Amino acid sequence: MRIRGRRYDDGTSITVAIGEGVITDITPVPGDDHDPWLAPGFVDLQINGYGGQEFNDFELTTEKVIHVSQAMDADGVTSYLPTATTHSFEMLSHTMKSLATACEASTEVARRVPGFHLEGPYISKQDGPRGAHPVEHCRPPDWAEFQRLQEAAGGRIRILTLSPEYDGAAAFIAKAVASGVLIAIGHTAADSDQIRAAVDAGATMSTHLGNGAHGQIRRHPNYIWDQLAEDRLVASLIVDGHHLPAAVVKSFVRSKTTERCVLVSDLVGMAGMPPGQYRNTSIGNIEILDGGKIVLGGQRQYLAGAGLPITYGVANIMRFTDCNLQTAIEMASIRPAELIGQTPAQLEVGSRADLVAFDLPDTGPAKVRQTINRGEVVFDAA
């Protein structure tokens, strides 16, 4: 199979030959402005579900996980972490077991899912920092419980988002990191000393920095400044145009540098559904507004996850920060893959053929033409 496009990193037109799931040849060809951009497939570290299906669901089945996984193809996502959010042990254990079963039973899931993200339940109980997570299930870190969840997941929990504001959090973090889990700080009201202790213990990421926070915080110090200044933390950012204003994104990226930022979508289970009110989701009643913004029901201040895919983040990060296409793509593909210890797909001979061909209009998201997963065309807009 051959695919033609313009390299995302230097703009030259090429044809890429693919065989047995890897890139076997890259040949320069005369340029054509009608060629799509060609880049490594996107790697999204935070997806809670899609199209009306949440991962936090007692009726989650392998077939439902396959459906969500294949839905990611249309957005150029070749790898993603199914994300379970704060809930009871029974729910989280069921979700982990169901996801693990899907990985074992389905090659369609296994090739798209390198691991899981557990966002909570060890997060702040405070309004604001806990975001849309149900307060009755927010609780301190519990190593015995986490081991049981990891066992249910078959050892596949790759990222755990927690708040280091609880007593014993640093010791918990050190154990988790030693076991191979990436610890991310998020949904937190931690003070400066607690954040520093968490990083000293091995935390290496900030989950959707700037979100899951109080509506008003102390001018300085505060947990956003502390994480921005900490060079040992990589920040994930939701750049859908709803979660962070453009000026905030620009300031965050300037502070952290593009090398310490990754893009995530944070899609929730109701993403992809039409505007309207949805009741009794795993995070309660929510409303999808025109334009894809998702909020907790009955108000407009607190977001309830995201409704727009990572293609919006790729386009917006360029518009908000003036970074180039190569930088934006690598924040959505190579860098997140490296962060979870996955060998990233590259646009080079010998690399795994996880590719996305797309157009980049002046407004709106990147428009995916084709997605190739391990050498197979899994989405074709034509």
What is the chain's pLDDT, residue by residue, as a tens digit (382 residues)?
Answer: 999 999 999 999 999 999 999 999 999 999 888 999 999 999 999 999 999 999 999 999 999 999 999 999 999 999 999 999 999 999 999 999 999 999 999 999 999 999 999 999 999 999 999 999 999 999 999 999 999 999 999 999 999 999 999 999 999 999 999 999 999 999 999 999 999 999 999 999 999 999 999 999 999 999 999 999 999 999 999 999 999 999 999 999 999 999 999 999 999 999 999 999 998 888 888 899 988 899 988 887 778 889 999 999 999 999 999 999 999 999 999 999 999 999 999 999 999 999 999 999 999 999 999 999 999 999 999 9
Side by side, which strands form the sheet with 13-19?
Answer: 22-28, 13-19, 2-7, 37-40, 355-359, 367-373, 376-380
Q: Are 122 and 142 in contact (CB under 8 A)?
A: yes
What pLDDT does 291 receive? Answer: 87
pLDDT of residue 281: 86
pLDDT value of residue 381: 98
Give the three-class secondary structure for 189.
coil
The DSSP 8-state label assigned to residue 303 in this structure reads B
359 CB neighbour count, 10 Å cutoff: 13
Between CA 228 and CA 126 the distance in angstroms is: 21
Q: 3-state class of 287 per DSSP?
A: strand
- Which residue type is seen at 348? E
Amino acid at the residue 150: Q
Q: For 180, what's the count of Cα atoms within 13 Å in the CB-facing half-sphere? A: 10
Contacts of 118 (CB under 8 A, 6+ apart): 83, 84, 92, 96, 149, 157, 159, 160, 161
Residue 180 to residue 170: CA distance in whole angstroms: 16
Identify the structural domains of the chain with CATH numbers, from first to last. Answer: 39-347 (3.20.20.140)
Q: What is the pLDDT of residue 297?
A: 86
Q: Which residue has 């030259």 as its token pair?
A: 12
**pLDDT recorded at residue 302:** 79
pLDDT at 171: 98
pTM of the model: 0.97
With a CB cutoff of 8 Å and minimum separation 6, the contacts of 204 are 182, 183, 184, 232, 233, 234, 339
Distance, CA of 78 to CA of 115 (rounded, Å): 13
